Structure 1
């Protein structure tokens, strides 16, 4: 049954992407097929082989150690608060982002990350048929974040045509920043976080090749990476504050969204006799079934998927962690992979705002195709979830 659901799911996702395509006659099927095969192979290696499980354990242990280091700094500042029973979510999940942000800054400063990003992007461009800029941006988005990545390509931003700008923004929304991967791993199983990071990269390329197909001419295939000259300690201060700002913003959004959802749930319960999250669970139930969730759990899974779309992945992950014991391991795995991306309504504002801050005209262009951007990024998450479903 899961094989039938898998193939039906793929067909539906590809059809949904095809319907929204800018140029249906120009879709390149060869790179799509190649990347689909690569996804299946990598998913099998990560989840069903000893080598893959060892690799995931190593990555998980690394982030666990990083979180321990971060805890030393957190305990120094918030020691009295942290020692009173269970540590608050802000301290255990969000504040470690500050330390991980610093490590990313150090790797950036010594040109280690740019070297790997550039060459991995170059290799991927040979597979996906897209330009060097698009492939670089996809990798860089997963490292530095969905808004900061545009700073690195600031020199080219004004000259980028609309179709290429869509691809850059789609990559940014379909991935997650490395600085918050550690936070995800405290809420869902690390193996699904790692698998989602890999799958979303290729799923992003696949969906873009269908929705937004185009050719990049040799004279247009240029990559100019902007790097600011900073002293080591100037860089440290900047990345520390950047990490803290991310933690504060995420914390503020969680307070607002969780409170709002709770209020709306009560209003719907009083008026309709059913909570808002239960209602959207029924709306998203067909999608949950499409990605391989057992029929008895599609409403609960659909509710979490919808919550992620209308709020953000943190709120949805918190909801998943509350009910994960009542769900099958298969459902938990599929939904976990679906949640690991920035595909939600607030990301439209974040990305368009980031681009507008660098180039107002291009920022307005992004705002105009914002809903189509979210549509494509959501299909990326659905495709990744379908791929992982065949291995669970």
Structure 2
């Protein structure tokens, strides 16, 4: 097994304190947004044997296991992260597998460079993801009932929002959501900026359920995404609760610390709350205009003590172990590759050799190749990222 040295991404929306506190290091004073654990070429984890992406490329069967390579090719099929949001992330959706393959092929054929801001598809893979809260975590996920969205906008008493309110109340649900989101994203930004400003001031005055929109507008004062956010379900996760985000589901994280696992892809289509490119026609093709309550996941415990977050995806599987000091050692040996992350306590991993193994303290992580003998002992909480069997 390999202790990981991981890259922390300093995106502007990151918290200045949450990841340093987890790692037990002094804050740098700059935002620390995501700590990447895995073999993504953009920021591969480093080991004593070399960068993880190079180790996988040199001998994929030894690192990933024959079955994983047969299913997903010679690549680690998931990316594991610690995510610390100190400000709202962009409002976004991800394509399904067929859409990703078609979009990637089309952009390759068109010769659009990877660093071109118009490029939507960086790879031919889908990007379902799961976020699990380590602290209270706030976000937006999926379309709410159009009538609820209409009530939210109507309560602001902003004249220029009334056409959206009327549309949301007059049409069948999916048609209403499509028409209103399209109207928001295709409106003249200069003209819409005044509406966003009025709506933000009204949301601040009302408080309560409208507070989130005022906070989003504080960071993006004239962005149409402030209005688009009112079409989505607000979600609060308590520590240990998780949210699965499938293809076509619009979402945004607002604040909090969590662990995130996703299929190893970089395909994002943005709806707003960002200075980056928004491809409205492609976005509207990918978004699923299906209202419904977001399903909050709680882990299901097994006899072995493993608590599993059940998702309908094969590229990743997330679970955790919450261990007492007197708990018997747990065998974690698996035919799939694993990344283990400790979020509290003092744990220890032992392999098949006679040495003392590795300590695993808060914020530390290791990569375990497929089939390698691994035993977990000690006290604390460890998250286990692997591939669905």
TM-score between the two structures when normalised by the length of structure 2: 0.25
**Higher normalized strand content (fraction of residues):** 2
Q: Larger Rg: 1 or 2?
A: 2
